[in-house]
Structure 1
Amino acid sequence: MKQVSTLFLRIAVIFIGLPVLAICIFLVPEIGHVAGQLLPEFASVKYFVFFLFYGSALPFYFALYQALKLLSYIDKSKAFSQFSVEALKKIKYCAITISSFHVLLLPLFYLFAEMDDAPGVIFVGLVVPFASMIIAVFAAVLQRLLQEAIQIKSENDLTV
């Protein structure tokens, strides 16, 4: 049963990565082009957008890799180990990095909302930073709980 559930989670992690890959291939160049049109006096803003989106894709895929490692630890019955704590810590830092990169993009969402006269676009720009901060908080809580469980387990092993 454990193998089946972790296999399902592995497939889910892979399918989570596919839309982000499609966004990086098809949507990011368009967003960079629109940003270049919004700020024609700053020709390098297109490269800034590329840097931030592709720069946030790298920690995203690193976090997915850490999630796959965490699932392999569960398969090997090493879920309550320091390796799992380290994987959760790396996921937390990746989520914070992604959120920071996307917060830097919020002024572009504001300019796009002004151009299109659609204030809801700003809220769309806030989705990724808030979602990644929720993931960071969740990973931090799990990391702390796992550390405490490992500490209790080691204390119990010493008393026996």
Structure 2
Amino acid sequence: VVPFFVALYQALKLLGYIDKNIAFSELSVKALKNIKYCAVIISALYVMVIPFVYLLAEKDDAPGLIIIGMIPIFASLVIAVFSAVLQRLLKEAIDIKSENDLTV
């Protein structure tokens, strides 16, 4: 649960930056990077638990248990990819904004 709450805190910080009109800053990029790392950690933790779920599913003869156990893995990977894309776009937008500020 620790990576989840860290990511949740970073998301709240990101929303605070958006509210303060400093969304296009390095602080937002750092918050997105932390969210990405937390999502990858959550996915890795679930991957480590899947063998135990497999043993439990074999014992109880429940094949759907493996698929249900894989849902959090894919969900956190989707969040990691989405935050990585947003991080890259935000970084490029900050670079373009700084170039425009220097031009004017």
TM-score interval for Structure 1 and Structure 2 normalised by the shorter chain: over 0.9
Equivalent in the alignment of 2:21: 77
Q: CA RMSD in A?
A: 0.5
> Superposed, which structure 2 residues align to 1:140-155 within 5 Å?
140-155=84-99
Note the C-alpha offset of 1:108: 1.1
C-alpha distance after superposition, 1:30-52 (max 9, x if no partner): xxxxxxxxxxxxxxxxxxxxxxx
Report the TM-score, using the length of structure 2 for normalisation: 0.98
Q: Give me the whole-angstrom Cα distance separating, in 1, the residues matched to 2:64 and 2:53.
A: 10
Gaps of 5+ in 2: none
- State the TM-score, normalizing by the size of structure 1: 0.64
Residue 112 of structure 1 corresponds to 56
Match for residue 65 of structure 2 among 112, 121, 140: 121
Between 124-133 and 58-67, the greater mean CA deviation after superposition: 124-133
Bigger Cα Rg: 1
1:38-77 correspondence to structure 2 within 5 Å: 57-77=1-21
Paired with 2:80 and 2:49, the residues of 1 have a C-alpha distance of 19
Q: What amino acid is aligned across from residue 96 of structure 1 in structure 2?
A: V
Among 67, 71, 77, which residue is 1:133 paired with?
Answer: 77
SS at match of 1:105: helix
Q: Does residue 1:102 correspond to 2:46, yes or no?
A: yes
Distance 2:95 2:80 in 1: 22
Aligned equivalents of 1:149 and 1:89: distance in 2? 16
C-alpha distance after superposition, 1:96-130 (max 9, x if no partner) = 00000110000111011111111110011101111
Equivalent AA in structure 2 for residue 136 of structure 1: A
Higher relative contact order (CA 8 A, sep 6+): 2
| Cα separation, 2, equivalents of 1:122 and 1:112 | 9
- Structure 1 residue 78 displacement after superposition: 0.3
Query: Percentage identity across aligned positions?
Result: 66
Q: What is the CA–CA distance in structure 1 between the aligned matches of 2:81 and 2:19, rounded to whole Å?
A: 25
